[in-house]
Amino acid sequence: MDFQSLIENRKKILKPTTTVVTNTSGEKYEISDGVVRNLGIKVTPFVVDNKPNLKIDLIIPGLFISSQDPVYNLDILESHGIKNILSLGINPEVKFPDINYYYVDILDLPEFDLFKVLNECIKIIHENISENILVHCNAGVSRSPTIVLGYLMACKKLSYTQAYDFVKNIRYIRPNDGFVNKLKNIKPKDLPQLN
């Protein structure tokens, strides 16, 4: 059976649903069985955040965390002595010549296979922490904290709760539920042994 046939067969067993969508003008629409119906309701449209979050937080000596915004500001990076950047799911379009860049593709989805990339990220951090490494994702709330928590668990031998509480006292974080469950259930032997 080809892929398209599989999709069509799966569609046949899905429960019918109704979705309400708000467009950028604030108009609400209902979509049901492929039919779009304007609900005649207008609400405040979503707000595009045009104000960058330029805050970089020091977690432990040499290890920093942020959103993607500081990555584009050389003055801020230099003020923190950042020589290495680990980008998670967001590959910066602008790269400065005196900074080493690492990119790891991570989707901020509970079902994403975190173990596929966690040890690679931990090793990148450990190899570069002596020269200051900034770990960032889009907002610096889920993916980058997840990797930093994994690093603290491997390097400092902390439990998930200890690592979470430590980072939470420094920065607002909210790893997605799938990442949290994976980190809570990881065995120390599955993390890299760091010297």
Question: Where is 84: in which H helix or E strand?
Answer: strand 84-88
d(CA 27, CA 43): 6
Residue 84 pairs in a beta bridge with 100, 133
d(CA 106, CA 104): 6
**Angle (nearest 5°) at CA 137 between 73 and 105:** 120
- Which of these, 195, 134, 141, 187, lies nearest to 164 by C-alpha position? 141
Residue 63 pairs in a beta bridge with 60, 133
Measured in degrees and rounded to the nearest 5, phi and psi for residue 120 equal -60, -45
Q: Which residues are catalytic?
A: 137
Question: Edge-to-edge strands of the sheet including 27-32?
Answer: 18-22, 27-32, 35-42
Handedness of CA 103, 104, 107, 108 (dihedral sign): negative
